[in-house]
Structure 1
Amino acid sequence: MSVEQLIARDLSPAEPIVDWLDFDFDTRQVHAGEYPDLNTGLRVPPIALSAGYVFDSFDDQVDRFAGRSIDPIYSRQGNPTNSVAEERLASLEGGTVSVAVSSGQAAISSALFTLAQGGDHIVSTASIYGGTRILFGRSFKRFGIEVDYVWDADDDAEWERAIRPNTKAIYTETIPNPRNDVTDLRRIAAVAAKYHLPLVVDNTVGTPAIIRPFEHGANIVVHSTTKFLTGHGAAVGGAIVDGGTFDWEAAERAGRSFPLITAAPRPGLGSMLDRFGTGAYARAVREAVVNDIGPSLSPFNGFLLHQGMETLSLRMERHVDSSLAIAAWLEEQPEVTSVDYTGLPSNPLYDLAQRDYAGRTGSVFGVTVRGGIDGAREFVNGLRVFSRMTGIGDTRSMIIHPLSSTHATFAPEINERLGITPGLLRLSVGLESARDLITDLRAGLDRVR
């Protein structure tokens, strides 16, 4: 066929895909949220380093400030680079809308401040990240929001005692650290539904590559994107994802008020629920909390986040494979008294881990060595590949002693109930060779007496 004949056939290129909803997870983690650059044809969405945005007209400015337009006014509310990460994460988690913020702590705070105010109450499962417990016990307390803990999530009577008329949310984590004691989300979601409460779930350690909380009844998901989602430890960030599933009107009828979502902010303007439907909660987070308090994400860190998510499933596969091998090896070592990894058949939560997590419970877990704190010190000081540092979810493996760091300010009786003992170490298994990591751990254990 001649060139002229080919031209005559008018075989114009197919239109680019803009909606990745029906594609597989691995495809969406690469493409969801991206947009074509019409100026230069850049393949990778660029970093939009601009504090503000030009209005199309006087009326466009009026509409944006009146809340009739979703276009941003200022980068405190949103940024094109961060929007790529937000849309991608919402797609991977199976939510409606995501809001990126400056850190994981900012995500937890923004998520819950949208639901609760001074005089309100939150119920949390007891086993959660130590930094979150500090946040609840210090800053939330100063703001007049009380938090109570449920120690046995299977105990209906304990939930009954904990939940009050002014309770505004239930909070939990998929895979709590440091002890990897996975959560039965279905059970907690049933409790939340019974009491007309939104269930907020931190999926930092799980990630949507392992478990998607909305599929188990959660209503809101939060992340420290600093960890596995970004994956390389070079950028701090956080995110809130709205599942779009909570019935705010039914909650109001049941006596639970969420004014930032269901009340009109001013005469002539509908509520967030009226205007944004299944994305109402996320819009309230963005407009009424993040915009006001200001924990916005740097677009540079947003760029690193959506770049990191492109390889999430591949990295998590390696993280988990290595963790399973290392946890099984550690369990056989004479210097080790216990390994807290629910992917092991010996763990009491193994059946739950198989049912909801396919036995792949992340790469953050606890190991207890003999000799108490002295044994822990010798073990940690003998390591050369594991980095002695705080943090999890990095390409690099890390270790820390919780009792003297993340849990150092807690009362002894609280740490005892949480299982934070003098000999407990938290491991975060990275992407190095499992063989090399085991060799390093053996060298550390050789120093334990």
Structure 2
Amino acid sequence: MTDAPQYGFDTLQIHAGARPDPATGARQTPIYQTTAYVFRDAEHAAALFNLQEVGYIYSRLTNPTVAVLQERMATLEGGVGAVCCSSGHAAQLMALFPLMAPGRNIVASTRLYGGTLTQFSQTIKRFGWSATFVDFDDIDAVKAAVNDDTRAIFGESIANPGGYVTDIPALAEIADAAGIPLIIDNTSATPYLCRPIEQGATLVVHSMTKYLTGNGTVTGGVVVDSGKFDWSASDKFPSLSQPEPAYHGLKFHETFGPLAFTFHGIAIGLRDLGMTLNPQAAHYTLMGIETLSLRMQRHCENAQKVAGWLEADPRVDHVTYAGLPSSPYHDRAQRLYPKGTGGLFTVALKGGYDACIKFVDSLELFSHVANLGDTRSLVIHSASTTHRQLTPEQQEAAGAGPSVVRISIGIEDADDLIRDLDQALSAAGA
């Protein structure tokens, strides 16, 4: 699309990146289910492999269906480019890959999805990387955790599982002062509720499996590049600023400017890590994004009503939804997330661990699954599932203690959801 900034979000979520198929006139983006693409001639092939021309070589790297999704996500997040990959976890590794080296570290929030905590505390050690976990509400502690080997700060806009809202501008100031990128996982908020780049983030990652697709059918991830970071300002990021041996000494930042990170993600990240998003998954995600704003409005409305009802129930110890006036994050949410604070929160039951298990098993409308952001309302007991590998101290820091249940509110009738919660609470206390 031309002059995209003149269009509103509701228009861009349908049209950005998409054009009628030139061969058939098909209005919906086709699924280009192909492995490879025919080159015009030998010179064309050489230009593509030398990164002298943009085009399609092999679907591990680029695919027309995926390319539409990448452009749409970059547009909705206000970035210059995006790289799609096979899952949200893949997106996190893709984001870190050009930044890190053995001995380097990241500063990460203690309030992250359990799988991310495990990935950062355990798996990345195999690459010689490390993570320092800090309570991101303690800005001084975040500053103190950054050292000469730190290459990024990583947090979630609306943290999973508790729905806590992050002060992105405050973190951006720390990252800017240290000359390192701020990476924000925007999965729970989506670009409809929060645009981290406008608040100072360098890179935005998503598990597109969640709200973006919205129907629980496929997995996918994306890294969106703001294009605003100067990768050549120091010697901290040689992968982007120094000659790349695999491309005859090409310097990504010097050659591609604001798109350096995006081109590196495709030409090096997808080429060598191979965490490719398949075109059918991209197609499902594109269809989901077309209704993102409508769904997010309903998610927020329902979550506000259900969280308020739960907070008033004597069987409940507390609710973490930032949209509630009682939340310590309420003022921040009103300032940084004016459209709403999503559909994700936790509820702590007075009956503890056993009550949580009975509660989850007694729900009928809510589906007990390891997912969030579906049109259907979902529930899980994090301490026994998604955060099971963590220590009790890590579980509590992440907001996933033994008496806590994570709830992802869908777009059903809110009164029906409340009735289901009521009967499940009664069963849990029986």
Correspondence for 2:176:
193
Q: Please, what is the CA RMSD of the aligned residues?
A: 1.3
Q: Distance in 2 between matches of 1:310 and 1:353?
A: 25
> For the Cα contact (< 8 Å) 1:169–1:199, is it kept in 2?
yes
> For the Cα contact (< 8 Å) 2:110–2:397, is it kept in 1?
no
Correspondence for 2:358:
378
How many residue pairs match? The answer is 428
> For the Cα contact (< 8 Å) 1:370–1:448, is it kept in 2?
no
Indicate which of 280, 287, 290 corresponds to 2:260: 280
Q: Distance in 1 between matches of 2:20 and 2:57?
A: 22
Q: Specify the code of the residue in structure 2 equivalent to 1:257.
A: K
Q: Distance in 1 between matches of 2:400 and 2:32?
A: 44
Q: Distance in 2 between matches of 1:176 and 1:322?
A: 19
Correspondence for 1:44:
28
Correspondence for 2:292:
312
Indicate which of 411, 416, 419 corresponds to 1:439: 419
Q: Specify the code of the residue in structure 2 equivalent to 1:447.
A: A
- Quote the offset at 1:136 in angstroms: 1.0
Q: Distance in 1 between matches of 2:397 and 2:23?
A: 59
- Is 1:103 the counterpart of 2:87? The answer is yes
- Quote the offset at 1:417 in angstroms: 3.1
Q: Specify the code of the residue in structure 2 equivalent to 1:292.
A: D
Correspondence for 1:85:
69
Indicate which of 217, 220, 227 corresponds to 1:244: 227
Q: Distance in 2 between matches of 1:377 and 1:268?
A: 58
Q: Specify the code of the residue in structure 2 equivalent to 1:205.
A: S
- Is 1:400 the counterpart of 2:380? The answer is yes
Structure 1 stretch displaced more, 316-325 or 30-39? 30-39
Q: Specify the code of the residue in structure 1 equivalent to 2:127.
A: F
Correspondence for 2:200:
217
Q: Helix, strand or coil for the counterpart of 1:249?
A: coil
Identity rate, percent:
42
Q: Distance in 1 between matches of 2:267 and 2:416?
A: 48
Q: Distance in 1 between matches of 2:187 and 2:397?
A: 23
When residues 143 and 209 of structure 1 are mapped into structure 2, their CA distance, relative to the original with a 3 A threshold, is: same
Indicate which of 319, 326, 338 corresponds to 2:306: 326
Q: Specify the code of the residue in structure 2 equivalent to 1:349.
A: Y
User: Which deviations, in whole Å up to 9, do the C-alpha atoms of 1:133-161 show, x marking residues without a partner?
Assistant: 111122201111011011244332x2343
Correspondence for 2:338:
358
Q: Distance in 2 between matches of 1:66 and 1:200?
A: 29
- Quote the offset at 1:56 in angstroms: 1.3
> For the Cα contact (< 8 Å) 1:260–1:288, is it kept in 2?
no
Q: Specify the code of the residue in structure 1 equivalent to 2:100.
A: A
> For the Cα contact (< 8 Å) 2:109–2:135, is it kept in 1?
yes
> For the Cα contact (< 8 Å) 2:112–2:398, is it kept in 1?
no
Q: Specify the code of the residue in structure 2 equivalent to 1:259.
A: P
TM-score, structure 1 normalization: 0.93
- Quote the offset at 1:270 in angstroms: 3.2
Indicate which of 282, 285, 292 corresponds to 1:302: 282
- Is 1:293 the counterpart of 2:273? The answer is yes
Q: Distance in 1 between matches of 2:348 and 2:281?
A: 35
> For the Cα contact (< 8 Å) 1:343–1:359, is it kept in 2?
no
Structure 1 stretch displaced more, 130-139 or 233-242? 130-139
Q: Specify the code of the residue in structure 2 equivalent to 1:70.
A: V
Correspondence for 1:8:
none
User: Which deviations, in whole Å up to 9, do the C-alpha atoms of 1:257-276 show, x marking residues without a partner?
Assistant: 21221112148653111221
- Is 1:203 the counterpart of 2:186? The answer is yes
**Rg larger in 1 or in 2?**
1
Q: Specify the code of the residue in structure 2 equivalent to 1:219.
A: T
- Is 1:265 the counterpart of 2:265? The answer is no
- Quote the offset at 1:428 in angstroms: 0.5
Q: Specify the code of the residue in structure 1 equivalent to 2:367.
A: S
Q: Which segments of 5 or more consecutive residues in structure 2 lack a partner in the other structure?
A: none
Q: Which segments of 5 or more consecutive residues in structure 1 lack a partner in the other structure?
A: 1-16
Q: Distance in 1 between matches of 2:380 and 2:75?
A: 33
Correspondence for 2:52:
68
> For the Cα contact (< 8 Å) 2:193–2:339, is it kept in 1?
no
Correspondence for 2:164:
181
Correspondence for 2:406:
426
When residues 53 and 18 of structure 1 are mapped into structure 2, their CA distance, relative to the original with a 3 A threshold, is: farther
Q: Distance in 1 between matches of 2:142 and 2:408?
A: 32
- Quote the offset at 1:291 in angstroms: 1.3
> For the Cα contact (< 8 Å) 1:350–1:359, is it kept in 2?
no
Q: Specify the code of the residue in structure 1 equivalent to 2:7.
A: F
- Quote the offset at 1:21 in angstroms: 3.2
- Quote the offset at 1:72 in angstroms: 2.5
Q: Distance in 1 between matches of 2:136 and 2:24?
A: 57
Correspondence for 1:130:
114
Q: Specify the code of the residue in structure 2 equivalent to 1:200.
A: I
User: Which deviations, in whole Å up to 9, do the C-alpha atoms of 1:280-317 show, x marking residues without a partner?
Assistant: 11111111112111000000001111111111000100
- Is 1:341 the counterpart of 2:324? The answer is no
Q: Specify the code of the residue in structure 2 equivalent to 1:104.
A: G
Q: Distance in 2 between matches of 1:355 and 1:114?
A: 33
- Quote the offset at 1:18 in angstroms: 4.5
TM-score, structure 2 normalization: 0.97
User: Which deviations, in whole Å up to 9, do the C-alpha atoms of 1:188-236 show, x marking residues without a partner?
Assistant: 0000001001000000000000000011000000000000001100011
Structure 1 stretch displaced more, 408-417 or 105-114? 408-417
